[in-house]
Amino acid sequence: MASFPLLKTGVEAQYPLVTQTQYVTDVVQFLDGTEQRFPRYAAPLLKWTVSLSLLDEEESNTTLVFFRTQRGINGVFSFTDPVNGTVYDNCSFVSDSIQTSIDANGRSTTTVAIQQNGN
């Protein structure tokens, strides 16, 4: 399985890093109108918004090639949570597009959103 690429500094992301937790609940409604609720997954799902700034051409290209290789939201890869070091094996991109801008010095900034998929 592919892994989200590291920067030359050995990290997956830079600050600011936004992490979200999502709880997925299923609801069964009975004929008498009462409901029963239960979690779809044993643990909540995570989502990260990864901002990468001041990337050189090689780092920017590596991230872009990885995104294209994964075919955007269709790919599945592992991602290491930058906060606690936990590796999540069932992750994908949230969108089929990637935001990249290049400044006057040739440094690029990229923002991608990654989500943990349920089992």
CA atoms within 13 A on the CB side of 107: 6
Architecture of domain 14-116: Beta Barrel (2.40)
Domain-wise residue ranges, the chain:
14-116
Please report, in tens digits, the pLDDT of each residue of the chain (119 residues total).
Answer: 898 888 887 777 777 888 888 888 889 999 999 999 987 877 788 899 888 888 888 888 888 899 999 988 889 999 998 888 889 889 999 988 888 888 877 788 888 899 998 76
Q: Identify the pLDDT of residue 29.
A: 93
Identify which of 56, 52, 54 has the alpha carbon closest to the alpha carbon of residue 114. Answer: 52
Q: Identify the pLDDT of residue 119.
A: 65
